[in-house]
Amino acid sequence: AQLVESGGGSVQSGGTLTLSCVASGYSYCLGWFRQFPGKEREGVASLSRSGTTSYARSVQGRFSISRGDDKNTVTLQMTSLSPDDTAMYYCASGPACPFNDDPAAPRRVDSWGQGTRVTVSP
């Protein structure tokens, strides 16, 4: 699937941002990774086609992932943002969920979005 992202940008600490991603083909698992400078990509949240969600411990309770009725759109609402959330965010699709809390998860991804920057100022 080809993935096209939108959203992101800059916000002050405590603010909210929403990321969206549209997949052009079938995707069983859709979700988001983020990458800090000099670090590997880490899973943030994922949502299976059957509706199962999963979140990284660092974003649990602050981020919410949802999938459109057509199953090909995924949205990540990020609330209570802090400077620690500043990173490049990538939409991802793959044959299996979840993406979070697993260093091997990026190897299960078969498509990546182009990335969108999220910057949270103090």
Query: Tell me: the pLDDT tens digits for 98-114?
Result: 999 888 999 999 999 99
Check residue 71 and give its pLDDT.
79
In our burial notation (b when 16+ CB lie closer than 10 A, e otherwise), range 61-91 reads eebebebeeebbebbbbbeebeeebbbbbbb
10 vs 70, which has greater pLDDT? 10
Closest CA to 39 of 107, 88, 109: 88
33: confidence class by pLDDT, cuts 50, 70, 90: very high
The number of helices, as runs of H, and strands, as runs of E, in the chain is: 0, 11
Sheet architecture: strand order including 63-67 = 3-7, 17-23, 73-78, 63-67
Q: Evaluate if residue 36 carries a pLDDT over 90.
A: yes
- Report, as an integer, the average pLDDT of 73-82: 97
Could you give the maximum distance between any two Cα atoms of the chain, in Å? 39
**How big is the chain, counted in residues?**
122
Q: Evaluate if residue 1 carries a pLDDT over 80.
A: no
Residues 104, 22: Cα–Cα separation, whole Å: 24
